[in-house]
């Protein structure tokens, strides 16, 4: 079973599970601040669940690529939408500051 590492927690999940769902089921959130309440609920349209993922995950979908091209995101920042990303193996997840988690340049994940 794959392991998801996020904010000091290790979570076991099934291969093919959506990263957003894995985090929520563990009582964690891929959102910052008010984005916990104001988000698209996993439809890939708001961009508030953007995270950096290191490890085996699915390829970005067309919807995900399009959303990450819209400001405040930068398509070159290396972020993924947790709601559109499926876990294929062990992964480490980082969330950056900002409503959308877009402040990658700050260098410190939350």
**pLDDT of 105:** 82
Domain count, the chain: 1
- The tens digit of pLDDT for each residue in 28-76 reads 999 999 999 999 999 999 999 999 999 999 999 999 999 999 999 999 9
The CATH number of residue 54's host domain is 3.10.20.30
pLDDT at 44: 94
Please write the tens of the pLDDT for every residue from 70-93.
999 999 999 999 999 999 999 999
What domain range is 88 assigned to? 3-106
C-alpha span between 88 and 66 (Å, rounded): 22
Q: Are 22 and 87 in contact (CB under 8 A)?
A: yes
Edge-first strand order for the sheet with 50-57 is 9-12, 3-6, 87-94, 50-57, 79-81
Query: At residue 99, does pLDDT exceed 80?
Result: yes
């Amino acid at each position: 079973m794959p392991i998801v590492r996020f904010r000091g927690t290790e979570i076991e999940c099934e291969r093919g599970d959506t990263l957003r769902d894995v985090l929520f089921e563990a009582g964690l959130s891929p959102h910052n601040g008010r984005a916990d309440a104001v988000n698209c609920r996993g439809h890939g349209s708001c961009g508030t669940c953007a995270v950096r993922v290191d490890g085996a995950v699915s390829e970005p979908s067309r919807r995900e690529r399009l959303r990450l091209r819209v400001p405040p995101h930068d398509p070159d920042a290396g972020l993924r939408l947790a709601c559109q990303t499926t876990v294929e193996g062990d992964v480490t997840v980082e969330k950056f500051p900002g409503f959308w988690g877009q402040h990658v340049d700050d260098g410190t994940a939350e």
